[in-house]
Amino acid sequence: MKESRKSKLDRRAFFKKSAAGIIGSVGSVYAHTNFRVANDFKRPSSSTDLNWSTINSNFILKNGVTYMNNASLGMPPMIIVDAVKAGYEGISKEPLHGKRKLQDKISKNVIPLLASTFNVKTDEVILTRNASEALFLQTLGLVLKKGDEVVLSTQEHPAALKPWIHRGAKDGVILKYVFIPSPLVSKQDTINRLMSAVSSKTKAISFCHVTRGGHKYPVKEIANLARRKGIATLVDGAQAVGQFPIDIKNLGCDAYSASLHKWILAPSGSGFLFVRDNAKRFFESPFDLKAFTINSFFDPPGTKDYPVRAAVGTALNFINKIGLDNIEKRCRYLSDYLKDGLKKIKDVKILSSDNYNLSAPGSTIFEKKNLDALESVRIFEKRINFHIDEHQRDGHDAIRVSTHFYNNTDQIDLFLDTLNSI
Ligand SMILES: Cc1ncc(COP(=O)(O)O)c(C=O)c1O
Q: Residue 275 pLDDT more than 60?
A: yes
- Position 41 scores a pLDDT of 63
Q: Which residues line ligand 1 (CB under 6 A)?
A: 72, 130-132, 157, 159-160, 208, 211-212, 236, 238-239, 259, 271
Minimum CA distance residue for ligand 1 atom 1? 212
Biggest distance spanned by C-alpha atoms of the chain: 68
Burial 70-105 (b: 16+ CB within 10 A, else e): bbeebbbbbbbeebbeebeebbeeeeeebbebbeeb
The 10s digit of each residue's pLDDT in 337-373 is 999 999 999 999 999 999 999 999 999 999 999 999 9
Residues 227 and 331 in one domain: no
Query: In angstroms, what is the span from residue 131 Cα to ligand 1's centroid?
Result: 6
Minimum CA distance residue for ligand 1 atom 14? 72
Percent of the chain with pLDDT over 70: 88
Residue 289's contacts (CB-CB under 8 Å, 6 or more residues apart) are none
- Range 317-334 average pLDDT: 94
User: In whole angstroms, what is the distance from residue 217 CA to residue 335 CA?
Assistant: 18
Residues 174 and 123 in one domain: yes
CATH number for the domain that contains residue 98: 3.40.640.10
Residues 270 and 177 in one domain: yes
Amino acid identity at 51:
N
Percent of the chain with pLDDT over 90: 79
pLDDT band at 293; cut points 50, 70, 90: low
Residues 313 and 330 in one domain: no
- Pick from 258, 284, 319: which residue ends a domain? 319
Residues 252 and 312 in one domain: yes
Query: Considering only 44-48, 191-195, 227-231, 380-384, which range has the smallest mean pLDDT?
Result: 44-48
- Position 39 scores a pLDDT of 55
Residues 43 and 159 in one domain: no
For residue 395, the enclosing domain spans 5-77+324-421
List, in sequence order, every residue forming a beta bridge with 348; answer none if it has no partner: 368
- Position 40 scores a pLDDT of 57
Domain count, the chain: 2
Residues 284 and 342 in one domain: no
The 10s digit of each residue's pLDDT in 303-312 is 999 999 999 9
The 10s digit of each residue's pLDDT in 196-223 is 999 999 999 999 999 999 999 999 999 9
pLDDT band at 247; cut points 50, 70, 90: very high
- Pick from 270, 294, 319: which residue ends a domain? 319
- Pick from 302, 319, 336: which residue ends a domain? 319
Task: Measure Cα distances from 165 to 20, 138, 168, 204, 235 in Å.
Answer: 48, 14, 5, 14, 16
- Position 43 scores a pLDDT of 66
Residues 10 and 124 in one domain: no
- Position 291 scores a pLDDT of 67
Which DSSP symbol is given to 87?
H
Query: In angstroms, what is the span from residue 268 Cα to ligand 1's centroid?
Result: 12
> 297: closest CA among 123, 181, 66?
123
| Of 41-45, 186-190, 318-322, highest mean pLDDT | 186-190
Q: Residue 225 pLDDT more than 50?
A: yes
- Position 21 scores a pLDDT of 33
Residues 255 and 375 in one domain: no
User: In whole angstroms, what is the distance from residue 408 CA to residue 7 CA?
Assistant: 14
What mean pLDDT value characterizes the chain?
A: 89
- Position 50 scores a pLDDT of 66
Query: In angstroms, what is the span from residue 134 Cα to ligand 1's centroid?
Result: 10
Q: Residue 28 pLDDT more than 80?
A: no
- Position 51 scores a pLDDT of 73
Q: Residue 117 pLDDT more than 50?
A: yes
CATH number for the domain that contains residue 411: 3.90.1150.10
DSSP string, 278-331: GGGGGB--SS-TT-SSHHHHHS--S---HHHHHHHHHHHHHHHHH-HHHHHHHH
- Position 292 scores a pLDDT of 67
Residues 167 and 258 in one domain: yes
- Position 223 scores a pLDDT of 98
Residues 53 and 134 in one domain: no
Residues 304 and 172 in one domain: yes
Q: Residue 12 pLDDT more than 70?
A: no
Q: Residue 375 pLDDT more than 90?
A: yes
Query: In angstroms, what is the span from residue 269 Cα to ligand 1's centroid?
Result: 12
Q: Which residue has the higher pLDDT, 1 or 384?
A: 384
User: In whole angstroms, what is the distance from residue 113 CA to residue 128 CA?
Assistant: 15
Q: What stretches of 332-396 adopt beta strand conformation (E)?
A: 348-350, 363-368, 386-387, 389-391
